[in-house]
Structures are given as structure tokens and as C-alpha cells.
Amino acid sequence: MRYDVPLYLSAPSAVLGEREHTAADAVAGGLIDEENAARYAYTALRVSDLAPVQLAERAVLATLAGADFSARAVGRLLYAWTHHQGHEFWSPAHYVADRVGASGAEPVGIQQMCNGGLSAIGQAGRDLIADPDTGEVLVATGDCFPAPGFDRWGGDYGVCYGDGGTAVLVGRSPRGRSVRLLSLETVAAPVLEGMHRGDAPFTPGALSGVKTLLPRVSKKEFLVRNPELDFGPLARRAVVTVLERALRTAGVAADDPRLRVAGLPRLARHVMRDAYRPAFASACGAPIAELGLDTGHLGAGDAVANLAALLDGGLADPGDLVVLLSAGAGFTWSVAIVEVASL
């Protein structure tokens, strides 16, 4: 989608888990072997003793402060997550809205797995364009992956998981440190949904805390059962397709010199090197920042955390274009093209 009406992402923030769990300690504790630790190249994962909604609450408060914006003026609060939020039968979006004082906002949950952050931003943009009376929209994410419910170091292939919350304010005017949203495109491959379901039967209730989630098991089961579906080529085609669409929609050439930097999912280094970076480079000339090797993958929060890191790190100046790519189980890939606004 092309955003001809000016829309801005303001004061992006990320609140990470308060402790670091180093790769060296994980190897010593038998949570990951030395070979995979070296191949993945994560130096540490961020770990929290808080619930994910509490990290999201802190991120939202940081965003509101950075944007100098009142929680009471928020029109909608879109909250995305991938993993257990602390209770089974409730609305985490409403919890976050209540805790930050967004008493007049409509809280909405966004379930797009790890693509949830960019998906929520896209929804926020559509809301603001469709209804002129909609006030600013807060987009927030929160995810934690504690044991025994999740094996953050060894439970998946090519990715380790860190804890964090993120937030960004989406509105019609820039507020504080901001980028203008030029385009956001998405492609999906529902044929791959079984990669996170595997051969396990449907259950009548959640198994959080009773059974450790091991995504690598369901992925292996799916690929054994569907040998004709080669995930690597499918993912590469999806990345190229969604990236080309987003650039075309924004009216930006692949070699535009304003393309200053790109933020990609916080996956293991070998996955980025062998899959994502080559696919990205074939369609876009933006240099790719190395992000997340000291945090781990933040579930639905990678895209907003990457935007905050790129702006905080001074990697993009006013007028520069930034590319944000995210991916989530299902599978879904999204790309946003944004332009850094003048302060």
C-alpha cells in the first residue's frame, strides 16, 4: 500500500529484558552446543523476569514521553505478540491500554506471529486513512520466552529468542524522532502454516508451562511430510517479491542513493548470510545493519526495535530512506519503506 496521505511513525522504543544470558553461559549450561553457538553467532540473549505485557507497558510509556503525547488522546492501541502473555483467557491489549492510561483508546490484539509489529503498523495506517476522526494509534508488542515453556536457545532452527517490548506512535504529524511511512507491502505463503503445527493433534486447551514448545520438532515433521515444499527457495522468492513491491509502491528505485540502511529479522548470522542477505541484496541496494546478535529474536517486536536502533545509532539522517523487513510464522513477510523526518 502506498501512503500518499502523510503518516508518521514517531518515537519508536524498545525495552529489552533486564538481564543478559551470554552464549558462553548457555554453552556451559548445555542449552546449546559449541558448534551451533558459533554458527548462530548470538553473543547474548536478553532475559526478563517480567511478563511480556509489562515490558510492552514500559515501551509504550517511553514512546509517549518521546513523542510528548498524552495517553488519553490515543485513538487505538494495537498490540501484537507471538507467545504466552501470562494468562490464558484475557486480552493483553486491554491490559496495556489500561496500564498506560489510554482510557479512551480501542485496544485490539494483532495475531500475526513474528510479523505482528509491521502488520499492526499497516493496520494503523489503514485506520488513519479510512477514518479522519481516528486519533493517533499506538502500536506495541511484547514477548518473553522463559523456561520451561520455551527453549529459547535450542528449541528452534536458526534463531534464538530474547525478551522485549516495543512501541511506536502512528499519526498524521511527526512527533519527536519520526519517520514518514511511504509504503508497506505483505506477501504470504499459507501452504507453510504446518511448519509450526507439525504432526501434533489439536488440543482442547493451552499447554503453556506443561509442555516445552520446540518449533524445530514441528518444522522437521512438516518438511518430512511435505518434501516437495522447500522452505529456502520459497522464502527467498517471498523476500524478493515483497521487497520489489514495496519499493515500486513507494516510487523508489532499487539503487536509489537515499536508501541508507535496512533492518531485517533478528535471526542467526548463518541464516542471514545464506538466505536473507542474498535475497535482499538481489532486489535492493540498501546496506543491511547487523542487529540483534546481542538480544536474540524479539518475536513480534523485531521491526520496531530495529527502527529504534537505527535511529538511536545515527545510521540514518533526515531525508534518508530506511527499509524494514519482517517475517512471521504462517508464513508472512512484510516490508515497509520509511523516510527519516526532519526534527
The closest alpha carbon to 140, from 105, 93, 182, belongs to: 93
Asked whether residue 343 carries a pLDDT value surpassing 80, the answer given is no
119-162 tens-digit pLDDT: 999 999 999 999 988 999 999 999 999 999 999 999 999 999 99
Q: How confident is the model at residue 208 (pLDDT cuts 50, 70, 90)?
A: low
The closest alpha carbon to 93, from 85, 118, 112, belongs to: 85
Q: How many domains does the chain have?
A: 1
**Cis bond before residue 202 (omega within 30° of 0):** no
Coil, strand or helix at 332: strand
Burial of residue 270 (CB within 10 Å: 0-12, 13-18, 19+) is middle
Cβ partners under 8 Å of residue 14, min gap 6:
59, 164, 165, 166, 298, 301, 304, 305, 308, 309
pLDDT for res 218: 86
Asked whether residue 312 carries a pLDDT value surpassing 70, the answer given is yes
Mean pLDDT for 46-69 is 98
pTM of the model: 0.96
Give dist(CA 80, CA 118) in Å, integer: 9
pLDDT for res 230: 83
Asked whether residue 108 carries a pLDDT value surpassing 90, the answer given is yes
Give dist(CA 57, CA 78) in Å, integer: 13
4-34 tens-digit pLDDT: 999 999 999 999 999 999 999 999 999 999 9
Q: How confident is the model at residue 200 (pLDDT cuts 50, 70, 90)?
A: confident
Q: How confident is the model at residue 214 (pLDDT cuts 50, 70, 90)?
A: confident
Q: Read off the CATH number of the domain in which 127 is found.
A: 3.40.47.10
Mean pLDDT for 41-51 is 98
pLDDT for res 282: 95
Q: What are phi and psi for residue 230, nearest 5 degrees?
A: -90, 110
Give dist(CA 123, CA 80) in Å, integer: 11
Quote the domain boundaries for residue 187: 1-343
Percent of the chain with pLDDT over 90: 84
